[in-house]
Structure 1
Amino acid sequence: MKFRGKTPKEPLTRKQKLRRELLRILVISAAALLSAFNLNSFVDTADLFPGGFSGAALLIIRLTDKYLGLKLAYSAVFLPLNVFPIYLGLRYLGKKFTFYSMYFTILSSVLTDAIPAIPITYDVLLICIFGGLINGMIIVLCLWMDASGGGTDFISIVLLERKGINAWNYILAGNVVILCLAGIFFGWDKALYSIIFQFVTTQVIQNLFKRYNQLTLIVITDMPESVYDKISILTHHDATLFRGEGFFKETTKHMIYSVIGADQAPMLIREIHEVDPHAFINVLKTERLAGHFYSRPRE
């Protein structure tokens, strides 16, 4: 049995590329505007400290205002903090990915300084929940458009893609330091409410962005060549073929085993059922993966 394996995809036309880039710019611009609104109307209203470099920037701004009487612009603090992450992005993640991430970082910083605060509510718990939801959606929008929100997003993606290291524990440790300093200087109620804000943000990201999650795919089929072609062409992942015998009808069965990205599963299952409507598909959550796993290259 010979499997065809991967076949090259048709290259995008110039018009399709232009539309894709225009969409990226529009979505990232909307995310930057939403980020500025969220920081001014929710985060600043409740004196919260979001995670990552944004929280660090707000901590520095509020400390200098409280103890030195200097009101620093958000962009004057946030942009310098992103110099090293941008360097990592240029070196490890690709120029286009870094460019769009820089675009978001600069635009959101400038808009944060330019847009006046419009408080929606003064209820801190509501601000934590809805501000966290908005913050999570902002990050997801950037990730969907193959960009990042800067700061710790750069660092976590570099460690995950290049070193296979889940940076969550390191980012969490950095957030703990920020929250402890915030609690000491501005009161522990602000720090504790900020934990709710960060928790909501994390839940939104984990539920809506699954590129870095893996699933184990087990397919029992009578059309292994066609099923493998779908897996190989659509996901660029390989598969292993097992041959066995079904107990009930005592007929020869083919079982295909593969590991794919969680974001690829719905499309792939649909395509497999198109070529083999009787295929039995079992999808399992993959907790840990050791070995080569194809990651879509960044531009």
Structure 2
Amino acid sequence: MAKLKMPNVWAELCKKIFFVFFAAITNAIALNNFLIPAKVYGAGLNGVSQLLSSFLYDFNHIRISTGMLIMLFNIPIALLGWYKVGRDFTLFSFLTVALMSFFSIVLPVQEVTNDPIMNAIVGGVISGVGVGFALKYGFSTGGMDIVSMVLAKTTGRSIGSLMFGINFIIISAAGFIYGWEYALYTLLSIYVLTKVVDTIHTSHQKVTAMIVTQHAPAMTAAIREKLIRGITLLPAKGGYTGSDSTVLMVVVTRYELYDLEQAVRETDPTAFVNILQTNRVIGEFWDSDRQKIHREESKKI
């Protein structure tokens, strides 16, 4: 058997850290250059932090930066992510929150345009791109992203639609305090953000991975180590080379696709992988809670 060439783990880590910085700075730019100057409020805890910061300054002359409030609000959310989503996910998410808070404090609040509609749209797009790529690479920008991830994994609803539902209170508060015109701008911004997030990353959707490899035992073990999913092994023969191989068929959510890709790269970088959109699954497909129970029971054996 040929010796497998292991991928550069440090390269994968550097890629993930790059997107941590990317998500943090894009969200900070969206806040400081588009949303905050126009009094258009972002999604989740970012919007809550904006709203509270504006309220404290406008009505009580107490100045607390939005970035500082984002950090404070995300501490209890990080605990939820630690127990419900995963440690790696939570660590990278909290690092993103810390950097986003830092950039929000350091970067000046400077208006790019005085058109509130443009501020709402552009701010929503920039923020949505950061959130979407964060989720795609296995972490989040904290706040309601983590809450939405937990709910999406248990209800099957899209992250975007759940974020939109959670953010209804922000829209109402903005309208009640600063006027319903600002609530409409906030509604537009959050709507754009959710559409961008669902375009980049739709974790509730299921996909079927067809993995062609000559190292089936090692590949099966690697996938089982990262995921609790059924794997079907099909014998195969190369049409060009005539060599024997195995096709591993596994159905996962898009949220789990990143871990599956990592398992394939680490085990057999030469494997051929075909990802197919799965419209419907009939039979057992465990949610995150049932997987967690299975892991705990396995540790006791």
Q: Is this a same-fold pair by TM over 0.5?
A: yes
* Match for residue 64 of structure 1 among 56, 67, 75: 56
Matched, 1:291 2:287: no
Residue 71 of structure 1: how far off its partner (Å)? 1.3
Q: In structure 2, what is the equivalent of residue 133 of structure 1?
A: 125
* Match for residue 50 of structure 1 among 31, 38, 42: 42
Q: In the alignment, is the contact (CA less than 8 A) between 2:81 and 2:146 conserved in 1? A: yes
Q: In the alignment, is the contact (CA less than 8 A) between 1:212 and 1:261 conserved in 2? A: yes
Counterpart residue type for residue 70 of structure 1: I
* Match for residue 182 of structure 1 among 151, 167, 174: 174
Equivalent-residue separation in structure 1 for 2:109 and 2:116 (angstroms): 16
List gaps (5 residues or longer) in structure 2: 224-228, 235-248, 262-270, 293-301
Residue 166 of structure 1: how far off its partner (Å)? 3.6
Q: In structure 1, what is the equivalent of residue 142 of structure 2?
A: 150
Q: Which deviations, in whole Å up to 9, do the C-alpha atoms of 1:226-248 show, x marking residues without a partner?
A: 9xx8xx9698654699xxxxxxx
Q: In the alignment, is the contact (CA less than 8 A) between 1:35 and 1:138 conserved in 2? A: yes
Q: In structure 2, what is the equivalent of residue 92 of structure 1?
A: 84
Counterpart residue type for residue 112 of structure 1: S
Q: Matched residue pairs, number?
A: 254
Aligned residues with identical type, % of pairs? 21
Change in Cα spacing, 1:282 to 1:171, as seen in structure 2 (3 Å) is: closer
Q: What is the TM-score with the length of structure 1 in the denominator?
A: 0.70
Q: In structure 2, what is the equivalent of residue 276 of structure 1?
A: none
Equivalent-residue separation in structure 2 for 1:282 and 1:33 (angstroms): 33
Q: In structure 1, what is the equivalent of residue 26 of structure 2?
A: 34
Counting only pairs closer than 5 Å after superposition, residues 214-225 of structure 1 correspond to structure 2 as: 214-215=206-207
Q: In structure 2, what is the equivalent of residue 104 of structure 1?
A: 96
Change in Cα spacing, 1:167 to 1:73, as seen in structure 2 (3 Å) is: same
Equivalent-residue separation in structure 1 for 2:276 and 2:26 (angstroms): 39
Counterpart residue type for residue 75 of structure 2: V
Q: In the alignment, is the contact (CA less than 8 A) between 2:23 and 2:141 conserved in 1? A: no
Equivalent-residue separation in structure 2 for 1:129 and 1:289 (angstroms): 40
Change in Cα spacing, 1:63 to 1:23, as seen in structure 2 (3 Å) is: same
Change in Cα spacing, 1:195 to 1:289, as seen in structure 2 (3 Å) is: farther
Larger Cα-atom Rg: 1
Counterpart residue type for residue 135 of structure 1: S
Q: What is the TM-score with the length of structure 2 in the denominator?
A: 0.70
Change in Cα spacing, 1:17 to 1:134, as seen in structure 2 (3 Å) is: same
